[in-house]
């Protein structure tokens, strides 16, 4: 409620304060000091003058200051517009009553101009400034008579307050937009760093699995075959028994090696193929949706002849499917969704389509609204040289399509 309490709110992992925050703090402190100082000036003048209305002036000035300080404290918590408007009108009524008692109350009009422009929207603040201006002229004229100076001073003050107040609003709005952009960039950077770490980890796990498969596993398999052949050609029973024992030990070690290779794959891909992992994801999504008592029925389809894909591509497509289905379940209000994995000659494609409410796709492209998940999907696809496409409109459902080339597939 107090003026200039409009600094951007802090965000997790970031200070949330723009470079203009010290300016806002200084303006707020300056307004507090100006209003309190002028109210004290009115009280001092009344006490020194010792007129018949001295105690009434002191009482209304104290009430005015007390009500203002109530607003300063309440402003620390968010309040609805009608509460702010009511507080402002009571403060203005106390000031108008003080103006009936002393012409010195006109000095308080200047900080009130700023306060009205900040506490209320422009469409209400500017008319209230004009009303305060007229009341200030009336107060001065009531006590001192109407002269050009008593009109020109408040008029200039009101004009200056309107220009500065509107300028402050524009500056505050731009600072908030800039801070939101900074926070969005920080979140995007963190997402990219996480994706980079995940991709690096997946690539290293794939490399280790491939190396172990091509060396240790293949060697143990060859040893097992050679021992089996030697076992058939040896006539001595004790030697054949030792060969059989060695072959069995090689078989045990080969099984352990294959288990170790399997553990290097991502946990969600423990079905060994991407179609199986996606089918399991769809099955789990439907089970969770059924348990929650609603949601879309998700269907999984494949198109084309499945081929072996690098682990990084499989993991990326699985994460994209997880993010897309999460959007369908949480936001789409759909009755049906279809996940399609398509194998092409030189690329693999993933489509997630639903018949839900849809939304304005241009707002997502502009970065407005809850589009962070879509940006993450786009970034995952583009990190592998792929393309991302979004088709949606209000009331027409949503289609998320990703196509990743296989030119680098081993």
Question: Are 325 and 285 in contact, with CB atoms under 8 Å apart?
Answer: yes
Across 136-148, average pLDDT: 68
- Min mean pLDDT across 85-89, 108-112, 326-330, 370-374 is at 370-374
- Tell me, yes or no, whether 1 lies in a domain: no
Does position 232 have pLDDT exceeding 50, yes or no? yes
Query: In this structure, are 379 and 240 located in the same domain?
Result: no
Q: What per-residue confidence (pLDDT) applies to 291? A: 61
Give the strands of the sheet with 297-303, arranged side by side. 297-303, 336-343, 347-354, 398-405, 387-392
> Do residues 171 and 207 share a domain?
no
Is the residue at 138 inside a domain? yes
Query: Do residues 172 and 33 share a domain?
Result: yes
d(CA 157, CA 410): 76
Query: What's the pLDDT tens digit per position in 261-287?
Result: 766 755 555 445 788 888 888 888 887
Do residues 304 and 386 share a domain? yes
Q: Are residues 252 and 371 in the same domain?
A: no
Residue 50 has pLDDT above 80, yes or no: no
**pLDDT given at position 294:** 62
Report d(CA 142, CA 61) in Å as an integer: 19
Q: What is the pLDDT of residue 299?
A: 92
Last residue of a domain, one of 266, 291, 316: 266
| Shared-domain flag, residues 301 and 351 | yes
Q: Are residues 246 and 317 located together in one domain of the fold? A: no
Domain boundary among 138, 154, 187: 187
Residue with the larger pLDDT of the pair 305 and 292: 305
Report the domain count for the chain: 3
Averaged pLDDT, 213-218:
71
Does residue 12 form part of some domain? Answer: no
Residue 178's pLDDT band, with cuts at 50, 70 and 90, is confident
372: pLDDT strictly greater than 70 = no
In this structure, are 238 and 102 located in the same domain? no
- C-alpha 85/C-alpha 80 separation (Å) is 9
Answer whether residue 14 is part of any domain: no
Q: What is the pLDDT of residue 359?
A: 82
**Is residue 282 located within the same domain as residue 379?**
yes
Whether 111 and 31 have beta carbons less than 8 Å apart is answered as: yes
- The stretch 305-331 carries a mean pLDDT of 83
pLDDT at residue 6 greater than cutoff 50: no
Q: Which of 187, 220, 244 is the last residue of a domain?
A: 187
Mean pLDDT for the stretch of residues 316-328? 85
Mean model confidence pLDDT for the chain: 76
Mark 187-196 as b/e (b = at least 16 C-beta within 10 Å): beeeeeeebe
Percent of the chain with pLDDT over 70: 78
The CATH number of the domain where 318 resides is what? 3.30.565.10
Residue 33: DSSP 8-state: H
pLDDT at residue 238 tops 90: no
Query: 98 with 243, same domain?
Result: no
pLDDT for position 405? 92
Mean pLDDT score, 316-324: 86
Average pLDDT over residues 38-62: 82
Residue 408 pLDDT: 45
> What is the rounded (10 degree) CA torsion for 330, 332, 338, 339?
-50
pLDDT of residue 328: 83
* Residue 389 clears pLDDT 70, i.e. is over it: yes
In a domain, 332, yes or no: yes
The 10s digit of each residue's pLDDT in 79-123 is 677 777 788 888 888 888 888 888 888 778 778 877 777 777 777
Under 8 Å between Cβ of 353 and 338: yes
State the SS3 of 211-224.
HHHHHHHHHHHHHH
Name residue 336's beta-bridge partners: 297
- Boundaries of domain holding 242: 197-266
Residues 97 and 179 in one domain: yes
Q: pLDDT tens across 285-302, in order?
A: 887 777 656 667 889 999
Q: Report yes or no on whether pTM surpasses 0.75.
A: no
5 is a domain residue: no
- SS3 of residue 292 by DSSP: helix
247 and 166 in one domain?
A: no
Tell me if 365 is assigned to some domain: yes
């Amino acid at each position: 409620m107090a003026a200039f309490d409009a600094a951007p709110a802090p965000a997790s992992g970031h200070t949330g304060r723009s470079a203009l925050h010290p300016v806002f703090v200084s303006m707020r402190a300056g307004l507090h000091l100006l209003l309190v100082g002028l109210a004290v000036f009115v009280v001092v003048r009344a006490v020194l003058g010792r007129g018949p209305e001295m105690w009434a002036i002191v009482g209304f000035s104290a009430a005015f200051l007390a009500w203002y300080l109530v607003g300063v404290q309440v402003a620390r918590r968010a309040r609805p517009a009608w509460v702010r408007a009511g507080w402002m009108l009571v403060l203005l009524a106390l000031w108008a009553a003080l103006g009936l008692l002393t012409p010195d109350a006109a000095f308080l009009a200047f900080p009130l101009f700023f306060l009205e422009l900040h506490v209320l929207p422009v469409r209400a603040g500017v008319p209230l400034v004009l009303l305060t201006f007229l009341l200030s002229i009336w107060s001065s004229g009531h006590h001192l008579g109407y002269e050009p100076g008593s009109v020109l001073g408040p008029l200039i003050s009101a004009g200056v307050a309107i220009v500065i107040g509107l300028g402050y609003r524009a500056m505050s709005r731009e600072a908030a937009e800039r801070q939101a952009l900074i926070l969005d960039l920080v979140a995007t950077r963190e997402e990219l760093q996480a994706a980079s770490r995940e991709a690096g980890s997946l690539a290293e796990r794939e490399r280790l699995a491939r190396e172990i498969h091509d060396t240790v596993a293949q060697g143990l398999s060859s040893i097992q075959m050679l021992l089996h052949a030697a076992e058939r050609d040896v006539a001595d029973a004790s030697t054949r028994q030792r060969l059989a024992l060695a072959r069995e030990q090689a078989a045990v070690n080969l099984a352990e090696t294959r288990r170790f290779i399997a553990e290097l794959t991502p946990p969600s891909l423990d079905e060994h193929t991407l179609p199986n992992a996606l089918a399991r994801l769809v099955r789990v999504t439907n089970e969770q949706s059924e348990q929650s008592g609603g949601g879309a029925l998700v269907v999984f389809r494949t198109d084309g002849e499945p081929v072996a894909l690098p682990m990084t591509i499989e993991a990326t497509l699985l994460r994209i499917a997880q993010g897309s289905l999460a959007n369908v379940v949480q936001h789409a209000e759909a009755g049906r969704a279809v996940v399609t994995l398509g194998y092409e000659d030189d690329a693999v494609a993933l489509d997630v389509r639903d018949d839900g409410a849809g939304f304005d796709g241009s707002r997502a492209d502009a970065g407005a609204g809850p589009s962070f998940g879509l940006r993450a999907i786009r970034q995952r696809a583009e990190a592998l040289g792929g393309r991302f496409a979004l088709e949606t409109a209000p009331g027409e459902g949503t289609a998320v399509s990703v196509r990743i080339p296989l030119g680098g597939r081993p």
